[in-house]
């Protein structure tokens, strides 16, 4: 959906401290043009409503089967069998028409709708509840996802409403969007949390599905406009965790017209893979161990030696 009255939100997360300065309210928008194998928000990739099936909550009672008009529910099996068989999923996705009758019928909350239509007015009303915390901590509102700029009208109106309430606004973006979209909205956005995946455009394209040229060009243009930018780098084993790639990133960042406020190195983790099971999606990072923060110390040292303030996320 592209109308501001129908943008799908998966979660409004209050009291976040990891996505911009201070205490923040994070708004997760559905829809992303990238397909990063390590994505920890797979529910935000599709722009459409989806259904979670949570096997650990499912009692295999059969109520969802009784109400489904599309024969898109598998017959009950032993609950332990369902949990332990990674190939089993309660929903036959190709038959499901997303009527949500199964969700309504489930007494155990094992089925859940992913993506609720929300307006900017509804979101800002929720965010405004924590204005005292923003003022005391220097926090505010972070619009994330997914890729927020897939819904530019929504982002623009939400940022404008935040400004009227003097709420600091961040947008967490991959930068993979037409410059005209960013340019039209940047006046009401206080900070850009800008993700960089890899400096080699072919490697970038082969891994996440799109080249990096547009993203890096937009980053340079935002810097030329004097916008406050903080770089976020998800550090992924056997993809971008080498010193050569990080040195190229450091060189690019040092040559920006306006220095970035800092870099956050985000070590790969696999805590999110349960959500892939809930959505019946493959976890393409199977077998990859999560990185410990201290494993990123050499990358941090390289960036700091180039004069770039750097942190390592937990």
Return residue ranges of the chain for CATH 3.20.20.70.
Answer: 7-47+116-312
Q: What is the mean pLDDT of the chain?
A: 96
The stretch 157-162 carries a mean pLDDT of 98
State yes or no: pLDDT of 5 exceeds 60: no
Give the per-residue pLDDT at 77.
96
The stretch 229-254 carries a mean pLDDT of 97
The fraction of the chain above a pLDDT of 90, given in percent, is 97
Higher-pLDDT residue of 299 and 4 is 299
Return residue ranges of the chain for CATH 3.30.70.20.
Answer: 50-114
- Using one digit for the tens of pLDDT, what is the confidence trace for 129-156? 999 999 999 999 999 999 999 999 999 9
Give the per-residue pLDDT at 309.
97
Confidence of residue 158 (pLDDT cuts 50, 70, 90): very high
- Using one digit for the tens of pLDDT, what is the confidence trace for 168-223? 999 999 999 999 999 999 999 999 999 999 999 999 999 999 999 999 999 999 99
- Using one digit for the tens of pLDDT, what is the confidence trace for 62-74? 999 999 999 999 9
| Cα-based angle 42, 36, 142 (whole degrees, multiple of 5) | 60
Please state which CATH number belongs to domain 7-47+116-312: 3.20.20.70
Give the per-residue pLDDT at 1.
38
Give the per-residue pLDDT at 12.
98
Q: Which of 33, 30, 29 is nearest to 204 (CA)?
A: 33
The stretch 251-267 carries a mean pLDDT of 97
The stretch 283-309 carries a mean pLDDT of 96
Confidence of residue 314 (pLDDT cuts 50, 70, 90): low
CATH 3.30.70.20 at 50-114, yes or no: yes
């Amino acid at each position: 959906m592209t109308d501001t009255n129908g943008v799908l939100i998966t979660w409004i997360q209050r009291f976040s401290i990891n996505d911009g300065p201070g205490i923040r309210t994070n708004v997760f928008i559905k829809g992303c043009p990238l397909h990063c194998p390590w994505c920890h928000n797979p529910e935000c990739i599709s722009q459409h409503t989806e259904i979670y099936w949570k096997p650990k909550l499912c009692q295999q009672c059969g109520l969802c089967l009784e109400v489904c008009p599309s024969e898109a529910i598998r017959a009950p099996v032993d609950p332990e069998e369902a949990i332990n068989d990674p190939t089993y999923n309660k929903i036959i996705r190709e038959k499901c028409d997303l009527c949500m009758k199964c969700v309504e019928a489930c007494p155990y909350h094992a089925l859940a709708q992913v993506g609720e239509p929300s307006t900017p007015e509804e979101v800002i009303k929720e965010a405004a509840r924590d204005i005292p915390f923003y003022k005391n901590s220097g926090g505010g509102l972070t619009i994330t996802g997914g890729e927020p700029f897939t819904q530019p009208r929504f982002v623009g109106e939400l940022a404008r409403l935040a400004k009227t309430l003097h709420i600091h606004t961040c947008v967490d973006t991959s930068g993979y969007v037409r410059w005209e979209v960013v340019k039209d909205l940047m006046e009401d956005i206080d900070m850009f949390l800008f993700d960089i995946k890899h400096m080699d455009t072919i490697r970038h394209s082969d891994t996440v599905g799109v080249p990096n040229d547009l993203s890096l060009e937009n980053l340079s243009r935002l810097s030329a406009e004097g916008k406050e930018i903080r770089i976020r780098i998800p550090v992924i084993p056997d993809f971008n965790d080498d010193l050569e790639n990080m040195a190229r990133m450091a060189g690019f960042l040092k040559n920006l017209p306006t220095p970035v406020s800092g870099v956050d190195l985000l070590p790969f983790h696999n805590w999110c893979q349960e959500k892939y099971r809930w959505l019946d999606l493959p976890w393409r990072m199977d077998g990859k161990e999560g990185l410990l923060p201290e494993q990123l110390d050499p990358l941090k040292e390289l960036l700091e030696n180039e004069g770039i303030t750097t942190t390592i996320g937990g």
